[in-house]
Structure 1
Amino acid sequence: MSKRLVEELAYDAPLAAVAAMLADPAFREEVCERQRVLRHDVRVDSSGDVLEVRVEQVQDAAGVPSFAKKLIGDEITIVQEERWTGPEAGEVTMTIPGKPGDMRGTITLVERDGVTTETVDLTVKVSIPLVGGKVEGLVTEMLRKALRVEHKVGRDYLSR
């Protein structure tokens, strides 16, 4: 089983500005800070037309249901890796090191009339017998909340 998450984030900015924002380590750092992660490490590397982004963050597991907390402990480490082969599209993989499961998908940018829509399309898969579906639902909602914070940070960033 798996769960799918599709989230559209609209920005009143041209595609080039949104792509530049997503490639800016300062933007990624600010997102981590606003998500109130305990610790984070952001790396952005570009080589030719390829942009690679790696964000490792450690979140507090407070508020996580007890059935999931037994599996993950007091902190959750999430590693997000993106590989962009152009400003319009990238592949994303998110893992929780040492835990069974991952989140994989794409990020696309489309501009229409000066508004750029970032579409994040992920499949969340957790391979734990009996509770995998529950954990997938929990992870999907956590990601949805994180993307909404990222969207707010992005709107603020682009308005400066």
Structure 2
Amino acid sequence: MRFSRELFYAAPPEDVFAMLADPAYREAVGAAQGVVSLEVSSTPTGSGRTVVVDSVQRTAGLPAIATKVTGETSRAIVREEWTDPTSATVRVESPGKPARAAGTISLAADDAGSRYTVALDLEVKVPLLGTKLEKIMADTVSAGLDAEHAVGVAWLEGDR
């Protein structure tokens, strides 16, 4: 399933990229999302950066069809490979689960700030239920981006 979402930040791309590369920001996002555990690394790579966020989330609130596959918690390892401060590839792995996502992130200047765009291919390999589970996954990713955006807006306004 194809998923795409665009967010806007009232700050220049270099400030948004610095925020995205800051482990403290990623930890604040995890706290806002109520994760059970979180490990973050952010490593310079040439003119870009590799950011890895390894988290465990509770699955309470997901439909029963999803919790049968995920259990009470689900681990997600998000790996962003930023080739430069404007573009990245992203992979999301869920060890031991039949779900994955891969795609791109772009960061572009906009009239009054920055446009942050995520485009993903979501895949859940479960016979007969995969499409329904991909829709649930898309809703979960969208809710996660909402939380990330709220933290990001506050972060860029100085609330750290």
Pick aligned residue for 1:153 from 146, 151, 160: 151
Structure 1 residues 50 and 115 mapped into 2: Cα distance closer, same or farther (>3 Å)? closer
Aligned to 2:9: 11
Aligned to 1:122: 120
2:80 is equivalent to residue 82 of structure 1: yes
1:21 is matched by which residue type in structure 2? M
Pick aligned residue for 1:133 from 127, 131, 134: 131
How many residue pairs were aligned? Answer: 158
**Which whole-Å CA distance do the structure 1 matches of 2:99 and 2:125 have between them?**
6
1:29 is matched by which residue type in structure 2? E
Normalising by structure 2, report the TM-score.
Answer: 0.95
Aligned to 1:100: 98
Pick aligned residue for 1:47 from 39, 45, 62: 45
Cα offset, 1:60, TM superposition: 0.8
Cα offset, 1:81, TM superposition: 0.4
**Which whole-Å CA distance do the structure 2 matches of 1:30 and 1:61 have between them?**
20
Aligned to 1:111: 109
Query: Secondary structure of 2:126's match?
Result: coil
Query: Secondary structure of 1:82's match?
Result: strand
Normalising by structure 1, report the TM-score.
Answer: 0.95
Cα offset, 1:66, TM superposition: 1.5
Q: Unaligned stretches of 5+ in structure 2?
A: none
Asked whether the 8 Å contact 2:107–2:117 carries over to 1, the reply is: yes
Q: Unaligned stretches of 5+ in structure 1?
A: none
Query: Secondary structure of 2:60's match?
Result: coil
